[in-house]
Amino acid sequence: MGALADADGITTRTIWPRTLRPVTRNLDTDDRAVEFGSLPVEDGEILPAGALDSEAPDQQRLTEASGNEGASFERSYHRAALVIWPQDRFVDVLLQAGPAAALPYFKDRVQASNSLSAPATDRQTVHSIAERIIAVWEASGNNGHRQRYKEADRSDMIALLGQLADAPLLERFIAGVVTREYDGSENKVLAANVRWLDPMQTGQLLSHLVIENMRTFPAACVDLLSRLTRESGLEPTAGWIAALREIAAAVVGALPDLKQRQPDHPDRDWRRTQKAKPVHGTTVVDLLETLAALNASTLRDASCKAIVANPEVFNPAKLIVSALQLLRERNSDAVLRDKEFQRLWAHSAEFLLARSEQPPESPKDWRLDVKIACQCDDCRELQAFALDPASQTHRFRVKQERRQHLHQQIDRHRLDMTHVTERAGSPQTLVCSKTRATYERQCHRYKEDIASMAVLYPLIGEMDEDVQTLRARLEAARQRCPQAKAAAT
């Protein structure tokens, strides 16, 4: 392996494959790694042209892939090269490998420009470098061809622009790159650097970021709002309070449209969205506490209404119960006077009682209530078997395509029934057996609900008549549980 040198004393050791897309290991003059990434070498950039074409490889690796067209082989060449580029195009060369390749160099230039002995022209040069990096980063998302970079790259760029205290470029980077690629990993550094921006500017910029990302990253957006309110060290001026409330309004406004993500239906941007964390109890607590800190009572009321109206995302039996428990632990008895706490407590209590006030009733027979639309002979036979209260097993001796049709009907109607094919004989026999799967699921859910009632009951004391009635019903439901009765005896 050989050395590559430039005017700044950066040395690059290159492993050069035959494809002329080298994999580089970059070192400075002190033999320390410098992450420039993989720098592409284009046609016409090798002198003399075709110099490596007839060279024998120093090392050779053969990989075989079999297929209809037979085996194929890949050959790798390890070669050293001397790379030379003009100093005034140093950043442009690095940017051929993407913005991340230029960040280490940019970081060195930022630190040098911030020293007391740095000339004024250095700052202008660094500003120009930042503009070029951001321009390439912005362009990477054009025409739907979006190149992804490490989460740390965005955070590093925000921090470097903060060190420059360059508000216009920081605003441009957040608007043009972070908003598009946001996944929440930037929250800490965003909260630490928004002080360089104007309050009104910040409110508009980050509320737009929330609007664009709340549906996919709701937990991250709430965390950003919480960090901005608690950790950013912003002055509690009217301007900054208004900015934070604007961002909070964007968060609350998106709550009614939140939907549970369906893993079977990944979106186009799945590499980014797979990093999204689900909404959990801490998300609700952070939101309510942040809105309280901002004295945003109207938004707090709206957030609770949206949470109550969206049980698919904000599960009253688990998520809200855990949120209420955490609120009580953090705020002790103060939350008992909080109307939003009381509203969410009553919502969870009513939900649990509606579903599990009584133990699930065990089936009295083997009847499965179902209406199968298909009227073929096999489906009519399956319908009769399902409705038969005494029959638990039925055998269908039919050909494979008819067995598959019966499989589909059983699965489509989610019948509590197993189906196994006996391979003996021709045609083979499909053996269908009824199960208690629905009842078993009900029993499992009932036990979980009783456990949630046990957590919910002591979180609130005797208050108005409605709360007392709910508490009494919760306690009666717990005592009615067979496991509770067994423990009492």
Rounded Cα distance, 188 and 181, in Å: 16
Q: Is the pLDDT of residue 113 over 80?
A: yes
pLDDT digits (tens, 9 = 90+) for 376-403: 999 999 999 999 999 999 999 999 999 9
End-to-end CA distance of the chain: 79
Rounded Cα distance, 80 and 78, in Å: 7
State the pLDDT confidence band at 101, using cuts at 50, 70 and 90: confident
Question: Residue 71: its pLDDT value, please?
Answer: 52
**pTM given for the model:** 0.78
Preceding amide of 427 cis, omega within 30: yes
pLDDT digits (tens, 9 = 90+) for 4-57: 444 344 444 443 443 334 444 555 556 666 666 556 666 666 667 776 666 666
State the pLDDT confidence band at 130, using cuts at 50, 70 and 90: very high
Distance of CA 446 to the CA centre of its chain: 30
465-476: average pLDDT = 91
